[in-house]
Structure 1
Amino acid sequence: MTQQPQPEWQPTNPPVPVDQRSWFARNKALSVVLGIVLVVMVCCGGVVVLAAGGDTASSASDTATSSTDEATESAAGSSTSQEEAPPQKSASKGAEPKKASAPGIGSPARDGKFEFTVTKVEKGVQQVGSEFFNETADGQFVLVHITVKNIGDESQTLFDSEQKLKDAQGRSFSTDSSAAIAMEDNDVWLNEINPGNTASGTLVYDMPADAQPTEIELHDSMFSGGVTVSLK
């Protein structure tokens, strides 16, 4: 039997060592490309953010500018309105509203339930009353002749002591009731007057000889506000 020749021994290829490097080290070209892509994306994202931020800032700036412009226009309009408004005339210095003139002799004046009418004023009287019953003035008697009508719906008592006479110096004088009693037919020193009735008489005041009566303040009671009648 013929033996086949044995093949010569050939050395086997040594095993290829495994590459332990990272993927990026093994694929440098791709790594470079990816790096460029990332850089571009980051840059583009920053530009977008900056653009958005710029738009926001621009919007805020525009809003602030608009508000400022509106405020300026409003202030300008207000200023224009004030300038165009006609100036009001100021009241004259020292000017005071005129007071209503007080009623005078012969004019009726009302207070409460009474309507008073001063008919005459006598000054410089030294004595009043009769020969046997009279009163003498310390200075001068001033006689205020008056009629009083009850215009209310109830009776009201007239007191001569509530009627005040004033002179040119602003002094106030009360009636001399004892002198009023001494005068005959004097119905106004103390009299209860019924509704619709009228009483007539004289209010007597003892004043200094040089006093000048200017007005009389008449009251239907001690609680009323009174009404002033000029005696000038």
Structure 2
Amino acid sequence: MRKTTTLALIATAVVALGCSSGATDSSSGSGSDSGAKGDDKPAKTAKIGQPARDGKFEFTVKSAKCGVTKVGTSMLGDKAQGQFCLVTINVKNIGKEAQLLDGSSQKAYAADGTEYSSDTEAGLYANKDQSTFFEEINPGNQVTGVFVFDIPKNVKLTKLELHDSMFSGGVTVALS
């Protein structure tokens, strides 16, 4: 049943993405942490605790904790294939219209450049009060949530690449 619910949520999210095709902003934020318009790579790397802007969102990574084997409760949860890295991020909408926070657009990287995607199912269990998988944030509002990455036990994450949408250039945040 858990997998069916997860698949239904993912299908709903894909439909929502198709319906909100005009909701993204291709311009970069006005802060110094955002990439220049048209760049594929962020201009500057932020650190934990520093705000970093991409498009309509200002991201502030609050903490990162790896080595977690399970998220959720004893009745409902998800077990890591390797280890879960739980990254707590505050996301503020700095734009002038609502923007959809897509948890699946967030990426994590190891020192060797290996890219890891956010585990959306584990993210549902890790966020007891709200979801960061598909959350619409109105202008001036902010949410704080946990993004979950399932990585091999012997791997250490070194940076995140955070995006206001799947089409944005992203902003880099160093984890070490």
Report the Cα distance in structure 1 between the residues aligned to 2:97 and 2:173, rounded to whole angstroms: 24
Q: Is the 8 A contact 1:105 1:230 kept in 2?
A: yes
Local SS of the residue matching 1:211: coil
- Aligned pair count reads 133
- Quote the offset at 1:186 in angstroms: 3.8
- Quote the offset at 1:168 in angstroms: 1.2
> Partner residue of 2:151?
207
Local SS of the residue matching 1:178: helix
Alignment of 1:104-143 (within 5 A): 104-143=47-86
- Quote the offset at 1:101 in angstroms: 5.5
Q: Which has the larger radius of gyration?
A: 1
Higher relative contact order (Cα pairs below 8 Å, separated by 6+ residues): 2
Question: Does residue 171 of the first structure (1) align with residue 118 of the second (2)?
Answer: no
> Partner residue of 2:138?
194
Question: Does residue 218 of the first structure (1) align with residue 153 of the second (2)?
Answer: no
Local SS of the residue matching 2:166: coil
Instruction: Note the residue ranges of structure 1 that are not aligned, 5 or more in a row.
Output: 1-99
Q: Which has the higher helix share?
A: 1
Q: Is the 8 A contact 2:86 2:146 kept in 1?
A: yes
Alignment of 1:1-232 (within 5 A): 102-183=45-126, 184-232=128-176
Report the Cα distance in structure 1 between the residues aligned to 2:74 and 2:133, rounded to whole angstroms: 20
Q: Is the 8 A contact 2:56 2:164 kept in 1?
A: yes
Q: Is the 8 A contact 1:187 1:199 kept in 2?
A: no
Local SS of the residue matching 2:95: coil
Report the Cα distance in structure 2 between the residues aligned to 1:154 and 1:188, rounded to whole angstroms: 18
Aligned identity (percent) is 50
Local SS of the residue matching 1:161: helix
CA RMSD after TM alignment? 1.1
Report the Cα distance in structure 1 between the residues aligned to 2:89 and 2:74, rounded to whole angstroms: 24
> Which consecutive aligned stretches of 4+ in structure 1 deviate over 4 angstroms post-superposition?
none
Q: What is the identity, as a one-letter code, of the residue corresponding to 1:222?
A: M
Local SS of the residue matching 2:45: coil
Report the Cα distance in structure 2 between the residues aligned to 1:187 and 1:199, rounded to whole angstroms: 10
Instruction: Note the residue ranges of structure 2 that are not aligned, 5 or more in a row.
Output: 1-42
